[in-house]
Structure 1
Amino acid sequence: MLFMIDYLQELATTLGPVKSALVATLFTWFMTALGASVVFFFKQINRAVFDTMLGFTGGVMMAAAFWSLLAPSLDYAKDMYEDFFWLPIAAGFLLGGLFIFLIDRFLPHLHINFGKSETEGIQTGWHKSTLLLLAITLHNIPEGLAIGILFGKAAMGMDGTSLAAAVALTIGIGIQNFPEGMAVSIPIRRSGASRFKSFWFGQLSATVEPIAGVIGAIAVLYMTNILPYALSFAAGAMIYVVVEEVIPETQRDKYTDLAVLGFMLGFALMMVLDTALG
C-alpha cells in the first residue's frame, strides 16, 4: 500500500493538479464500472451483503468528510481569517448541504432500496432504471468535487497539505465505488434488463466524477480565497448524501446491524488511509 501511495504521488507531481484530478476520478469511475461488471456473473446479490456494502459506503464518505475536508479546512481558515475562521467553514458546510438538497428536491430520482412509488423530486414517468441512475449520479457529485479540490489544494503547497492526502481520498472513494456500481446494475438486471444494459447504467452513474473533479481542481487553483468554503462545501454535500440517502437505504430490511458494522468498517478504513498515509 505504501509503495502504491508513493508511486501515485510521483505520478500526480508529474501530471499537475488538474490532470491528476482527472486521472484520480477516472480511477474512481473505473472502480464503479468494475462493480457494475458483477452483473455479468450474478443477477442478484444477497441482501445482507448488499446492506453491509451500502453501510461501508456511508462510513467511507462520513470519514472523508471530516478527515479529508473539514479538518484541513479548519486549519487553513484559522490562518486566513483568524478570529472568524469558523464563518467560512459553517457557511460552506451549510451551502454544500443546501446544494444537494435543491438538486434532490427537483431532480427525479429513486433511492436504491425504495419502491417506484417512493420516487423523489419532480414527478415523472421515467423508467426505474433511469431514476436509480440519477440517484447514484447525485451521490457522486460531492465525491468528484472533494478529490479535485484536494489535488488543487495540494498543488499550492500549503502547510498541512500533501498529495498523499488526495491520493488516500481517491483510494477510499474508489473502494466504496465498487459496491455503488453493483447497487445500480444488480437491481436493474433483476428488473429484467439485459446484462449489458445493466452494466452500462451502473458505470454511467460515475461519469460525473471526472467532470466534478476537474471543476473542483480548477476552482481552487484560480480562486485561492474560496478554499475554506470549497472544502467545507464538499464535506456538507457528502454528509447530506450519507444522512439523507445512504443510511436510510440500509435500514429497510432486517440486516441493519450488519449495515452499521459495514459503516464502522468503512469509517475506520478511510480514517486510517487519511491519517496514517495522508
Structure 2
Amino acid sequence: MENIESFFNDLGPIYAALIATVFTWSVTALGAAMIFFFRTMNRSWQDVMLGFTGGVMLAASFWSLLNPAIEMSERQYPDMSWMPAAVGFTAGALFIFVLDKFAPHLHINFEQEEKEGMKTKLHQTTLLILAITLHNIPEGLAVGVLFGAAANGTDGVSVTAAITLALGIGLQNFPEGFAVAMPLRRLGVSRLKSFWYGQLSAIVEPIAGVLGAFAVVYIQPGLPYALAFAAGAMIYVVVEEVIPETQRDKNTDVAVLGLIGGFVIMMVLDVAFG
C-alpha cells in the first residue's frame, strides 16, 4: 500500500484524481461487459446489486467525506463548526436536486411514463443512460475532492483514504455497470451497444473527479464545504434514486440486505485503511 500511496503522491492531485476515476470508470465497463456472458439477470440479483451500490455510497458519504468535513470545520471555525459541513451538504443535495428536475432521465426499473426532468422525446435507452450519468457525477466528484484534500496535507485526510474511496466506488461500479447494460439489452439493444452505453454512463466520473480536485487545490478554504458537498450529492442520489429502484418488486428485503452488505464493506475499508 505504501508503494501505491507514494505513486499517487508523486502524481499530484489532478493526475491522481484522473487515474483513480479512470479506474472507477473501467470497473463500470468491466461490469457492463458481463452482458456478453449472460443472457439475462434475475430481478432479485439486480435489486441486491443496486442495494449494494446504495450501501457503499452511504458509508462513503459519512466516513470518507462528511466526517472529515466536520473535523476540519471544528478546527477552522471553532465557534461555528457545524456551518461549513451543513452548508456544503445542503448545497450538494440541492445541486443534484436541480439536475434531477431539469435533466430528462428514466430510472432503472421505472416505466417510460415515469420519466423525470424536462419533457422530451428522447428514446427510453437514452433516458436510462442519462439517469446513471447523473448518479455518477457525485461519485467522481467525491474521489477528486478527497485526492485534492490529501494533496493539501489536510489533517484526517490521506492519499490512502482517497485510494480507499476509489476502491470502494469501483467495487460498487462493477454490479452497477451490469445493472445498466442488462435493462438496455431487455429493451432490444444489441449486446455491443448495451456494453457501450453501460460503460459510457460512467465517463462523467473522470470529468467530475478532475474538477473536484482542481477546485479543492485552488480554493483551499473551501475544503470542508467541498467534502460535505460531495456527501450531500451522494446521499441525495441514494435516497431519491437507488433505494426507490430496489423497492419496486417483491425483492425489497434482499435489496435491503444488499444495502447493509455494501455499507459494512465500505465502512470496514474506510476504517481499516482510510
TM-score > 0.5, shorter chain as reference: yes
Structure 2 gaps of 5+ residues are none
Instruction: Provide the alpha-carbon RMSD of the alignment.
Output: 0.8
The amino acid of 1:239's aligned partner reads: I
Contact 1:144 1:208 in 2 (8 A): yes
The equivalent position to 1:66 in structure 2, one of 62, 65, 80, is 62
The equivalent position to 1:37 in structure 2, one of 33, 36, 59, is 33
Q: Quote the Cα distance in structure 2 between the aligned partners of 1:171 and 1:205.
A: 18
Q: Quote the Cα distance in structure 2 between the aligned partners of 1:113 and 1:124.
A: 19
Contact 1:43 1:190 in 2 (8 A): no
Structure 1 moving runs of 4+ over 4 Å: none
Alignment of 1:196-235 (within 5 A): 196-235=192-231
CA offsets 1:131-180 (integer angstroms, 9 cap, x no match)? 01000000000000100000010011122121111011000000100111
What SS does the aligned partner of 1:13 have? helix
Which residue is equivalent to 1:15? 11
Aligned residues: 274
1:187 aligns with 2:183: yes
CA offsets 1:80-111 (integer angstroms, 9 cap, x no match)? 11111111111111110100000000100000
The equivalent position to 1:145 in structure 2, one of 141, 145, 157, is 141
Q: Quote the Cα distance in structure 1 between the aligned partners of 2:4 and 2:115.
A: 40
Q: Quote the Cα distance in structure 1 between the aligned partners of 2:65 and 2:257.
A: 24
* Structure 1, 9-18 or 172-181: larger mean CA deviation: 9-18
Q: Quote the Cα distance in structure 1 between the aligned partners of 2:157 and 2:31.
A: 31
Contact 1:69 1:234 in 2 (8 A): yes
The amino acid of 2:77's aligned partner reads: Y
Which residue is equivalent to 2:251? 255
Q: Quote the Cα distance in structure 2 between the aligned partners of 1:273 and 1:209.
A: 21
Deviation at 1:191, TM superposition (A): 1.0
Q: Quote the Cα distance in structure 2 between the aligned partners of 1:8 and 1:265.
A: 27
1:164 aligns with 2:160: yes
Alignment of 1:87-102 (within 5 A): 87-102=83-98
Q: Quote the Cα distance in structure 1 between the aligned partners of 2:191 and 2:126.
A: 16
The amino acid of 1:45's aligned partner reads: M
Deviation at 1:123, TM superposition (A): 1.4
Q: Quote the Cα distance in structure 2 between the aligned partners of 1:182 and 1:197.
A: 13
- Give the TM-score normalised by the residue count of structure 2: 0.98
The amino acid of 1:70's aligned partner reads: L
Structure 1 gaps of 5+ residues are none
- Give the TM-score normalised by the residue count of structure 1: 0.97
Which residue is equivalent to 1:246? 242
The amino acid of 1:272's aligned partner reads: V
